[in-house]
Amino acid sequence: MAQATDIQRRYGKTQRVDRWWIEPALFGGGLLAFVIYSTVSALILGNSWHFEAGPYLSPFFEPLIKPGWVPEWISPAVFILWAPLGFRTTCYYYRRTYYRSFFMSPPGCAVTEPAKSYSGESKFPFVLQNAHRLFLYVALVFIPILWYGALKAFWLDGEGLGVGVGSLILTVNAFLLMMYTLSCHSLRHLIGGGLDCFSCSSYTRTRRKAWDILSLANEHHKGWAWASLISVGLADLYVHLVANGVLTDLNTWSNF
């Protein structure tokens, strides 16, 4: 007989008296809300809900890829979203969160988990989590693209330079997404963590300095993960609302 049931039989499921379930419930709920929102906004509604307003483009669609052969019912976001989706799904922080909240593996520390057997990330499908490195390379490419989108938001065709609430939102969003990527565990490893000797040359000393800085950012990876997730959702919502005439953007331009 497995000892899991042994522990339960002997001592009970858990003796924790604090509200340990709040955290997984909250974070799980948050993730779920985002997944539903982004699916609806970017994939289901797609082209039928405007995602461009003046100089603003929703970050779900950045950069806009819309070749003619693609039917109208397919959202251009599909060419973009696989990348952040893959990156975040395989992210060490999100893994922790959804393993706990959705797979209840474990539901909380020192709380008995329901599954009968367990092989962690050693077998398919979870062995695919090792693709995180690949998604990181892609995510790094997206950083300049997102900054490009943010800078573009300060330039209205025909009128030139200006600033609006939307340009600020997209800038903050680009910054948070960049920080999320820079605080990635995998990047921290690539920059310096993979070295055994930091002092061996001036090159490795420099990498150590970079590693120190990324380590600082990495300590708050969870924070960057949530901040950027919320910001990208809000940025998308904002652009949509402006594009569909629900909101008017406050800005310095005369004709938008």
Binding site for other proteins (CB under 8 A): 2-4, 7, 10-11, 14-18, 92, 95-96, 99-100, 105-106, 109-110, 112-113, 115, 117-122, 126-127, 130-134, 137, 185-186, 189, 193-194, 196-199, 205, 208, 218-219
179 binds ligand FES (CB under 6 A): no
Q: 158: which residues sit within 8 A by CB, 6+ positions away?
A: 255
- Indicate the residue type of 9: R
Looking up tokens 């989706």 gives 85
CB of 241 to ligand FES, least distance (A): 29
Contact string (CB under 6 A) for ligand FES, positions 128-157, x = contact: ----x---x---------------------
CB of 182 to other proteins, least distance (A): 15
Q: Based on CB atoms, which residue is closest to other proteins, 15 or 48?
A: 15
Using CB under 6 A, which of 57, 80, 91, 243 touches ligand FES? 91
CB under 5 to 8 A by kind: which of ligand FES, other proteins, none does 202 bind? none
How many CB atoms within 10 Å of residue 177?
25
User: What is the distance, to the nearest Å, from the Cα of residue 6 to the centroid of all Cα atoms in its chain?
Assistant: 39
Please, what's the b/e burial string for 218-235 (b: 16 or more CB within 10 A of its CB; e: otherwise)? beebbebbbbbbebbbeb
Q: Based on CB atoms, which residue is closest to ligand FES, 190 or 239?
A: 190
Spatial separation of the C-alpha atoms in residues 254 and 256, rounded to whole Å: 6
Q: Based on CB atoms, which residue is closest to other proteins, 36 or 212?
A: 212
Q: Based on CB atoms, which residue is closest to other proteins, 106 or 162?
A: 106
Quick one: DSSP state of residue 125?
T
Question: What are the E-state strand segments in 60-111?
Answer: none
Spatial separation of the C-alpha atoms in residues 209 and 88, rounded to whole Å: 27
Contact residues toward ligand FES (CB under 6 A) are 91-93, 132, 136, 184-186, 221
